[in-house]
Structure formats: C-alpha cells, structure tokens
Amino acid sequence: MAPPLRVGIAGLGTVGAGVVRLLRRQAALLDKRAGRAIEIAAVSARNPEKSRDLDLSGIPWRHVDELATAPDIDVVVELIGGEDGPAKALVERALMHGKSVVTANKALIAHHGAALARLAESHGVSLAYEASVCGGIPIVKGLREGLAANNIRELHGILNGTCNYILTQMGESGRDFDDILAEAQRFGYAETDPSFDIDGIDTAHKLAILTAVAFGTEVDLASVHVEGIRRIGALDITYADALGYRIKLLGIARRAADGGIEQRVHPCMVPKATAIAAADGVFNAVVAEGDFVGRVNFVGPGAGGGPTASAVAADLIDIARGHVVPVFGVPASALSRADPTPITRRFGAYYLRLEVVDRPGVIADVAAALRDQNVSLESVLQRLRAPGDNVPVVLTTHETDEARMTAAVAQIAALDAVVEPPRLIRIEQF
C-alpha cells in the first residue's frame, strides 16, 4: 500500500472540528476509498489553549506558517476563512512549496480563484474546494466532472441556507422578516451580523465560483448583480402563494445568445411545482441544464460541520488517489473572460407591490406609468379598505426587459399616492 497522505489542518472551528472527527471516525473506510491511509499530521488554530469538545490526542500543534513548509505534511487543509490575510498567505505558500491544498473558503476562491489556479497548476499540485459551495452537495465535482461532456446553458440555485430558512419560516408562520431573522440568530442559523448572508454576498461568492466551473471562465465576482432579502415582507410571501409561487433567494447564471454571461443574485418568485421551490429550511439546491443531459437537480445540506467535512474528505480522497483535474475544469491558461451581460438586459415577468392611498384614479396612474414604458399588465390584486386608507396593491406584468421595468417603477414611486418604496420581485419561469 502507498504511504499515508499526511494532512495539516489550519482552523478548528465548526468545519475544522468536523474534519478531525470524520478523518478519525471513518479512517478504515477512507483507507479503502483512497487506497492509502489519510492521517492528520498536524493542526493549527488561533488559540491552542481554547477549550474544544474535540479529541486532539496524539496530534501535533504547529504554527500556521509551518504547515506550508513542513516536510512531513503533504496536503494543507485551509479552514481559516477570509478572502485575504492568513488564509490567502497560507494557501499561496503551500502551493508554491508543492503541497496540494483543500479549502472550504468561498471568499478566497471567489476573489482569487484564477490566480490560485494558475499557481497550483504551475507547481503540479491540486487546489480543491468542493466544500466552499453548498456544503455536502457535490456540486463542483458534479459540474466539473459529472457533466464535463455538456455545454452548460444555465444554472440556478439556492446557495445560502440562512436566507432559505428565513423565507421558509416566513411562509410557514406568516411572521415578518425581522422576527424570523432574530429567531435564526437564536438558533445559530444566522450570524450576529447577518449582512453577509441576507444581503446576498455569500450567494454571490458561490455563484461566481459555480459560473467559472460551468462555463470555463475566470471567476468574475465583480460582474455579479447582487440583491438581498431585507425588503421581502410577509405580505409578499402571502401574495406569492396566492399567485402560485414561492419566494427564494437565487443565484442565476446563463450564457446569453451573444456569448456573454449573466450572473445575478436576487429574490425570485418561482412556480410551486419546480424542484427549486421544494427546497426548504437550511437546504441548498442547484439546477444545472446541459445540452445533452438536460436538467439535473442537486439538493442537500448546504452548511454545518458534518456535511462540509464530508466535502473536504472527498477532496482528500481524490488527492490521495492522484486524481488531479484542472481547478475549474479546463487549464487555467484556457479560462476565458466572457463579457458580462448586465441585469438591464434581463427579459421576464415581474411582481410589483405598492402601498398606496386608496382614492380614485390611483390604479389608472400606475397603469399609465407602465404603459409609458411599454410594460403590459397581467394581473392586479387589491385588498379592500375604507376610502382614504393606505392599501396594498399587487401587480404582475407580462414579460418585458429590466430597463423598461426599472424606468416604470421610478415613475410609479414618484406618484403622490404611493406612500412606500415599491417592492419589485422578478418572476422566473424555470
């Protein structure tokens, strides 16, 4: 049997602890799957003295800088996090010293993926990052290897469990966003500062990575249009249900007819019958469409120590077996720079909720603003109130382009009878 694969683990948070537990508990299984033992040669963490519910007996502690150069370590597992700082320095140094790297760091790959891919390939080692997107779902391998014979036309997915939990609970309980967010923080599903999740940044990082894998392009985070879920209200959830939709925060990537690539993250209304609408709670889901395979659905837990550790271990097994593939499916030198397709060129239907003073002529004024931009109404829903009260009015449109819809919404927002900023949600007919 080949000599053991010696692993140095940097970071002992939820995921790092999960990796240690998995590598120890599943040692016999991993030996069979990898064809050699996978051993923890060293660990590193910011505070070695911290009390941890983790058996580290017999495992040497090293300073993080040593992991990249130690001769008794073959692979560095980076679980520190962050796009720069110690994480980036460790990964770069390890690759330059001929060590393969496994990481769960989505921010690092989203910001520096192409440069790190070139560095890994120039030194003949692996940079593996299955755990950086969708936790335990094998979406990177699925796109890069399982669907390698396909031209991917589109992918869309729920890439953030925190947002999916909040939207699911809003639908099930009828409570509003702030209440559910506070609950998610109490349960540990949301951070104390939840901005990274609820403002769509986490989803944007993951979408940028998946886009590069699916289309063979350099990671282009700057071209992702990003909106979060802060402005989704309980009323929107209720109206979506009445209209036959569920609201999900999605990452969407498509190749446009002119060869450009659109990347966008925002709340969407999706038909209840779709696979993506059925993924609830903290689950993630991705749908990819290839020219030969058709549509393929990936669903599973998107975070947590166990699922993410599972993805890390899968990458370690590949490295142990000498299974080396280009980081993004094609050699780094062959990664293209596709022209980004701006959100203004989106073509589709829209949901618009207004809070207006209930008086004669208001709907006519709103319809006139839409007419001026050549936007056609499909339906109008209005709750009955006493004349003079504020009343929610919900409109859905036929398909139109984003630029026209944006102009119409600006015109509507300027009407005296509209008392709150309009709520606009794109309708996606997958």
- Residue 177 pLDDT greater than 90, yes or no: yes
Round to whole Å and give the CA distance between 392 and 23.
55
**Of 76-85, 121-130, 353-362, where does mean pLDDT reach its minimum?**
353-362
- Residue 382 pLDDT greater than 90, yes or no: no
β-pairing, 283-290 vs 152-158, is: antiparallel
Report pTM: 0.95
**Of 111-120, 145-154, 337-346, where does mean pLDDT reach its minimum?**
337-346
Give tens-digit pLDDT for 40-60.
Answer: 999 999 888 787 889 898 999
Residue 374: how many other CB atoms lie within 10 Å: 11
Round to whole Å and give the CA distance between 77 and 406.
45
Q: How many residues does the chain have?
A: 430
Q: Which CATH class is domain 5-132?
A: alpha beta
Round to whole Å and give the CA distance between 285 and 266.
15
What CATH number has the domain spanning 139-301+333-343?
3.30.360.10
Contacts of residue 364, Cβ cutoff 8 Å, sequence gap at least 6: none
Contacts of residue 345, Cβ cutoff 8 Å, sequence gap at least 6: 256, 262, 401, 402, 403
Residue 393: how many other CB atoms lie within 10 Å: 20
Architecture of domain 346-427: 2-Layer Sandwich (3.30)
Region of residue 278 (phi > 0: left; psi between -120 and 50: alpha; otherwise: beta) = alpha
Beta bridge partners of 154: 254, 289
* In contact, 375 and 408? CB cutoff 8 Å: yes
Round to whole Å and give the CA distance between 332 and 321.
22
For the chain, give percent helix, strand, coil, nearest 5.
Answer: 40, 25, 35
Confidence of residue 303 (pLDDT cuts 50, 70, 90): confident
Give tens-digit pLDDT for 332-351.
Answer: 999 998 889 999 999 999 99
- Looking at the annotation, which residues are catalytic? 206
Give tens-digit pLDDT for 310-324.
Answer: 999 999 999 999 998
Domain ranges of the chain: 5-132, 139-301+333-343, 346-427
Round to whole Å and give the CA distance between 246 and 244.
7
Q: Which residue has the higher pLDDT, 382 or 273?
A: 273
